[in-house]
Amino acid sequence: MRGKVGLEEHFAIPETLDDSRGFFPEHIWGELKARLLDLHDNRLRLMDEHGIEMMLLSLNAPVVQAIPDPARANDVARKANDYLAREIQKRPGRFQGLAALPMQDPDMAIRELDRSIRDLGFKGVLVNGFSQVGDADTVVYYDMPQYRPFWSVLEQLDVPFYLHPRNPLRRDARIYAGAEWLLGPSWAFGQETAVHALRLMGSGLFDEHPKLSIVLGHMGEGLPFSMWRVDNCNAWVEDRHSYPAKRKIADYFLENFYITTSGNFRTQALINAMLEIGADRIMFSTDWPFENIDHAAIWFDAADISENDRLKIGRTNAIDLFKLGLS
């Protein structure tokens, strides 16, 4: 399929590069480093070869979210966003941007959100999970009350929020001790992000701000498969669930969430997701440079789905959600 749009496609600037170093063996670092820093050479060649018309670019992880000092987090976010805006200007028909935000301070996050959308022309934001604030062991999740003004502004701007994974803090990762291979994208990323997303759903956020759009990668971080059980476990027990939200958790998942295929190139998983959340809420992505463009594109182009669904998932859903202006 030609004309695909990829939404979870990453880059780095020199100041953020080392945050990606620990996720791969050292002998791979040279290749990954080159991929992260490249925008207009090998990346573009691979896009052309595999039918990707546009990538929405976002900063590598965890980067800004792992900087406890809000002022420094803000400086790094602004520097990365300014760099990305300059690069997009070189090829706006091939690249658009998702903003990095200093979520450590909601007011700073609002200001950078507004600047990124109104002044830099970005199409949304991508945040790498929870943020560390003040010190390395203090974390914030975005269902907390202090973030309601941020969500209000995001809803007014009418742009999507991509909730991207990061590992749990070491103190919270004792279950992975002795099984560190489960950290990162193989398991811990998805578990951490799924719980964060469920917290948002149960917090009442979407009752207050029903027009919010949240995007999850990696075929929904396991949530399409598990959503029924979240709502229906121990169904014979009266008042089994107690949370601030007014409706079933699945209602918010179906109405406020979108998912992408980033890093999950499995047709059975795609069909399950289509049955659960619908083809109108799924979008193609590769997760470059951490996954291969050819692996994603060759799989998707041959996946056993209808051509109408392939067009929606591969292209038009993203154009509509992110207002990309492509024909």
Helix (H) or strand (E) holding 126: strand 124-127
Judged by DSSP in three states, 179 sits in coil
Predicted confidence (pLDDT) per residue in 225-276, tens digit: 999 999 999 989 988 889 999 999 999 999 999 999 999 999 999 999 999 9
Catalytic-role residue among 19, 143, 287, 309: 287
DSSP symbols for 17-65: GGGGGGGS-GGGHHHHHHHHH-SSSHHHHHHHHTTEEEEEEEE-SSGGG
Amino acid at 195: V
Predicted confidence (pLDDT) per residue in 270-314, tens digit: 999 999 999 999 999 999 999 999 999 999 999 999 999 999 999
Q: What is the residue-level pLDDT of the chain in tens, covering all 327 positions?
A: 999 999 999 999 999 999 999 888 899 999 999 999 999 999 999 999 999 999 999 999 999 999 999 999 999 999 999 999 999 999 999 999 999 999 999 999 999 999 999 999 999 999 999 999 999 999 999 999 999 999 999 999 999 999 999 999 999 999 999 999 999 999 999 999 999 999 999 999 999 999 999 999 999 999 999 999 999 999 899 888 899 999 999 999 999 999 999 999 999 999 999 999 999 999 999 999 999 999 999 999 999 999 999 999 999 999 999 999 998
Nearest to 257 by CA among 303, 326, 210: 210
pTM of the complete model beyond 0.95? yes
Q: Sketch out the chain's domains with CATH numbers.
A: 4-322 (3.20.20.140)
pLDDT at position 99:
98
> 3-class secondary structure for 59-110?
ECCCHHHHCCCHHHHHHHHHHHHHHHHHHHHHCCCCEEEEECCCCCCHHHHH
Size of the chain, expressed as the number of residues it contains: 327
- Verify whether residue 48 is a known catalytic residue: no
Q: Are 111 and 147 in contact (CB under 8 A)?
A: no
What are the C-alpha distances in Å from 22 to residues 25, 26, 51, 184, 302?
7, 8, 31, 10, 33
